Each structure stands twice: as C-alpha cells, then as structure tokens.
Structure 1
Amino acid sequence: MIEIKNIKKTFNGKEVLAGISGRFEDSNTSLIIGGSGTGKSVLLKCIVGLIKPDSGGVYYDGRDFINGDRTIRTQIRREIGMLFQGSALFDSKTVEENVMFPLDMLTDMPKNEKLDRVNFCLKRVGLENVNKRMPSEISGGMMKRVGIARAIVMNPKYLFVDEPNSGLDPLTAVTIDELIAEITDEYKITTIVVTHDMNSVMGIGEYVMFLYKGRKLWEGDSQNIVETNVPELKEFLFANKFIKHMKENEANG
C-alpha cells in the first residue's frame, strides 16, 4: 500500500498541489484523473521521488519515502517500476536491450539470467521474437508493451504509469488498460495510473482520485463516479463526452 498525506507543492509562488492525501491499495489499479494542469503528473512525480514536495508525507507500506534514511529510500526505489508517457524507449537500443536496461543498471545478475527474465516479461506482454527489433521498427502499441515489460522486469511491488493511452487508437488503448490491470492483479502490485481517459476509468478504475486546480475534489470507484454531485467532476465527465455516451447506450437498451 502507498499512502500520501497532505502533499503540498508550489512552483514560483503558484500552488500546484494543495494538501493531497489518499491511499492506494495492494493489487488495485488506482487512477489519478483530471484535466491538463490540475497537478496529476506533479503528484505522481512527488510520489516516486522525482520531485520533492514542500511538505507532506509519502509512505510505502509504512516506510517514510521522503524523510526516511538513504537505505530506506534506495530500497523503495528498487521496488518501483514506471511506464513513462510515450514509453521513453532508447532509440539506439533494441527491444531486448531496452527491457534489460534496469537489470544492467541495478543488478549483478548473470547475462543468461537477465535474458531469461527479459524473455519472460516480453512473453507476458504478448511480444515474442521481437528482441532484436529497434523501437522505430514496431508500432506505438508495441512500444507501450515494451515499456510495460521494462517496468516489470525488476519484479516491482509498485507500478506507476503516466498517460498509457496517449497516441493510441481506442482498441489498442483498451488492450493496454487490460494488460496493466491483469499484471497488477497477477503480481499483487500497487499500481497508480495518471490519465484523462474515461474509458480507462470505467475499465480498470478500482480507486479513482479526481484533482482540480491542485485539490482533491472527489475519490471513489468507477461504479460511483457517474453519480457524482461534484460540479467540476461533472464538467470533466461531459468534456470527455462520457455521460453522453452512457445515456445513449441506456436509451438504446
């Protein structure tokens, strides 16, 4: 479980996060949603340690990530996997080399064991026999899968995903969502996904946190979100044309 307590962050005098708290449970796919500029990505970066909040706490299974000693912070970082927006693959490295990169950097594992682990992860995300291809030789959806394989190659306890469906067609986006949810459940990972895609919310949102102008205005699950009375969340849903789509489906039986 990851718990955040009263996270605050200001940039150049502008409040970006105004005291955000929440709990992200094991084996759950949790989503942080909101429009552009609401603080979603900043919050994610605070949770993974890329940005230090001005105040507040981040706790991984009770371990203080912000104020804990160096040993604790290093241990937690080794337990984190991350899929960046756009996959962030190395253009000059093959698929195999991209997935193996964390093993090369963080372990003393023999080369044959690394390769076995890489092949296992590629197979798990539905990619086999692509080891020697370059990122430029595979599709956007395949690049996302490679990114997921790299994120789980260290067998993480915590998985962070930033806008996984950016640039993907709807069918591929659903496939990526399902893969993230399956891996979360299968390996009992604590997964946090930043997204603005309402299809993702309804498909995999076991816990959803809605941010608006740096504040948490709503939290709940995907089943209750359409019943919200929060005006800003309603506006966000309409902007995604989600409620309209739901009503059309209901009218059509």
Structure 2
Amino acid sequence: MIEIHNIHKSFGGKKVLDGVSGVFETGKTNLLLGASGTGKSVLLKCIVGLIKPDIGSVTFDGTYYTNNKLDIRQEIRRKIGMLFQGSALFDSMNVEENVEFPLKMLTNMSKSERMDRVNFCLSRVGLENANHKMPSEISGGMKKRVGIARAIAPNCTYLFCDEPNSGLDPQTAITIDELIKEITEEYNITTIIVTHDMNSVIEIGDKIMFLYKGKKLWEGNNVEIMDTDIKELNDFIFANRLMRDAKKVEDERAEEEDRVEEERKGETR
C-alpha cells in the first residue's frame, strides 16, 4: 500500500499539485485519471521520488519515503518497477539484455540465475522466443510486454505505469491492460497507472483518482465513475459520442428497472 499526504508542487510559481492525498491499494490497479496538464505525471514522479514535493509526504507500506534517510529510500527504490510511456528500451540491447539489465544493477544473482529469471518473465508476458530480437524488430505491443517483463524482473513490490497504452491500437491496448491487471493480482503488487484512456478505466479501474487542475476531485471504482454528479468528471468521461450513448443506454435501463419495480410494488399493495 502506498499513501500520499497533502502533496503540493509548483514550478516557477505555477501550482501543479494542490494538496493531493490518497491511498493506493495493494493487489489492485490504481489509476490516476485526468486530462493532459492536470498533474498526473508530476504526482507519479513525486511518489517515485524523481521529484521532491514542496509540501507533503509519501509512505510505502508504512515507511516514510519523502525526506527519509538515503539508505531507506534506496531500499524502497529497489522494490519499484517502472513501465515508461515509450517503453524506454535500450536500442543497443536485445530483448533478453533489456530484461536482464535491472537484475545486473540491483541484485547479486549469478548469470545463470539472471537468465532463469529473464526467461520466466518473458514467458509470463508471452514472449518466450523473443530473447534475441532487437527493439527495432518488434512491434509496439511487444515493446510494452518487454517493458513489463523488465519492470517485474527484480520481483518488484510496487509497479508504476506511465500511459502504458500510448501509441497502441485498441485491441493491443486492452491486452496490455489485462496483462498489467493479471500481474498485479498474481503477485499482489501495488500498481499505479497514469492514464487518460477511458477504455483502461472501464476494463481495469479497481480504484481511480481523478485529478483536475492539480486537485483530487473524485475517487472511486470503474462502476461508480459512471454515475457521479461532478460536472468536470462527467465532461471528461463523456467527451466522446460513444461514451455519451453508453451513458444514455444505462440511464434508460435504470429508469426501466425503476418503473418495473414501482409497478411490482403497486401490484402487491
């Protein structure tokens, strides 16, 4: 579990985060949702420790991370896996070497132990025979899978994903969403995903925090988000016609259920 407490951050006098607090639960896919420029990525960087908040603190399973001793912060960092927006694979390394990289940097594993772990992680993301392919030889979806394999290779406790579906076709995006959710549940990881993709919200939104102009405006799950009275959230969710039509159908279904229930009550009186 990761907790954030009253996070504030400004750049050049412009406030980007304004008192954001919340809890990200273990074994669930926790989504940071919002339009571009709302502070999602800055909040993620504050949590990871890439940016120091002006005010506020972050705790990982009860251990304070912000402003703690260097050795404690480093110990927590060893438990963090990152999936970057552009996958961020090393172009000069093949798939196997990319996944092995954090094991060489963060563990004392022997070469054979590293290879066993690399092969296990590649198998887990469905890339059993891709070890010697170069990043230039694989698709965008495969690059994301390699990125996930690399992130979980050191047995991470916390997984951070920055726009994992960026640049992917809808079908591949759903596959990546499902893979992240499966790994989160299987290994009981605390996963935080930055996204503005409503498909991800609907598919894997166990817990969602909606940011608007640097503030936490709402939080809940992928069922509750479809029925709120917060204008800014509804404007974001139902910005496209497909979502508006889906909302209309859902409202009509709910009205019909209410009507039938009222008729049933009337008959029993």
The two structures have a TM-score, normalised by structure 1, of: 0.97
Identity of counterpart residues, as a percentage?
Answer: 67
- Unaligned stretches of 5+ in structure 1? none
What is the rounded CA distance, in whole Å, between the counterparts of 1:234 and 1:55 in structure 2?
30
Does 1:55 pair with 2:55?
yes
Q: Is the 8 A contact 2:107 2:154 kept in 1?
A: no
For 2:11 and 2:77, how far apart are their aligned partners in 1? 25
Range with bigger deviation, 234-243 or 184-193: 234-243
Contact persistence 1:4–1:21 (CA under 8 A): yes
2:225 is the counterpart of 1:225: yes
Give me the whole-angstrom Cα distance separating, in 1, the residues matched to 2:26 and 2:244. Answer: 33
Q: Cα deviation per residue 1:188-243 (whole Å; 9 max; x = unaligned)?
A: 00000000001101111111000011011000111100111111101101225453
C-alpha contact 1:198 1:240 (8 A) present in aligned 2? no
Counterparts in 2 of 1:74 and 1:251: CA distance versus 1, 3 Å: closer
Give yes or no for contact 1:201–1:222 (8 Å, CA) kept in 2. yes
Letter in 1 for 2:34: G
The reply to whether residue 27 of structure 1 matches residue 23 of structure 2 is: no
- 2 CA distance for matches of 1:30 and 1:65? 19
Whether 2:145 is the aligned partner of 1:157: answer no
Q: Which runs of 5+ in 2 are unaligned?
A: 254-269
Moved over 6 A (4+): none
For 1:62-211, what aligned pairs fall within 5 Å after superposition?
62-211=62-211
The one-letter code matched in structure 2 to 1:207 is K
Indicate how the Cα distance of structure 1 residues 240 and 73 shifts in structure 2: closer, same or farther if over 3 A, else same.
farther
Equivalent position SS for 1:50: coil
Taking structure 1 as reference, are residues 30 and 246 closer, same or farther at Cα in structure 2, changes over 3 Å only?
A: same
Once residues 52 and 231 of structure 1 are traced to their aligned partners in structure 2, the CA distance between those partners, rounded to angstroms, is 32
Matched residues in 1 for 2:98 and 2:86: separation? 14
Residue 122 and residue 6 in structure 1: after superposition, are their counterparts in 2 closer, same or farther (change >3 A)? Answer: same
| Aligned 1:225-244 pairs, distance under 5 A | 225-241=225-241, 243-244=243-244
Question: Structure 1 residues 125 and 240, CA, compared in 2 at 3 Å: closer, same or farther?
Answer: farther
Cα deviation for residue 111 of structure 1 reads 0.4
C-alpha separation in 2, matches of 1:245 and 1:139? 33
Give the letter aligned to residue 122 of structure 1: L
1:75-112 Cα offsets, whole Å, 9 max, x none, are 10000001000100011110000000101111121001
Please give the per-residue CA displacement for 1:133-188, whole angstroms capped at 9, x wherever unaligned: 00000000000000000000001110000001000000000000000000000000
**C-alpha RMSD of matched pairs (Å):** 1.5
Q: Name the SS of the counterpart of 2:166 in structure 1.
A: coil
**Does the 8 A contact of 2:226 with 2:247 survive in 1?**
no
**Residue correspondences, number:** 253
Give the Cα–Cα distance (whole angstroms) in 2 for the partners of residues 166 and 214 of structure 1: 22
Q: Distance in 2 between matches of 1:203 and 1:247?
A: 16
Deviations 1:15-72 (A, max 9, x none): 0000100000110100000000000000000000010000101000111101211121
In the superposition, relative to structure 1, how do residues 193 and 242 fare at CA in structure 2: closer, same or farther (>3 Å)?
farther
Q: Which amino acid aligns with 1:86?
A: G
Q: Name the residue aligned to 1:246.
A: 246
> Which residue of the partner structure matches residue 261 of structure 2?
none
> One-letter code of the match for 1:99?
V
**Counterpart AA for 1:22:** G
Contact kept, 8 Å, 1:5 with 1:57, in 2: the verdict is: yes
Instruction: Quote the Cα distance in structure 2 between the aligned partners of 1:221 and 1:48.
Output: 23
> Which amino acid is 1:109 matched to?
M
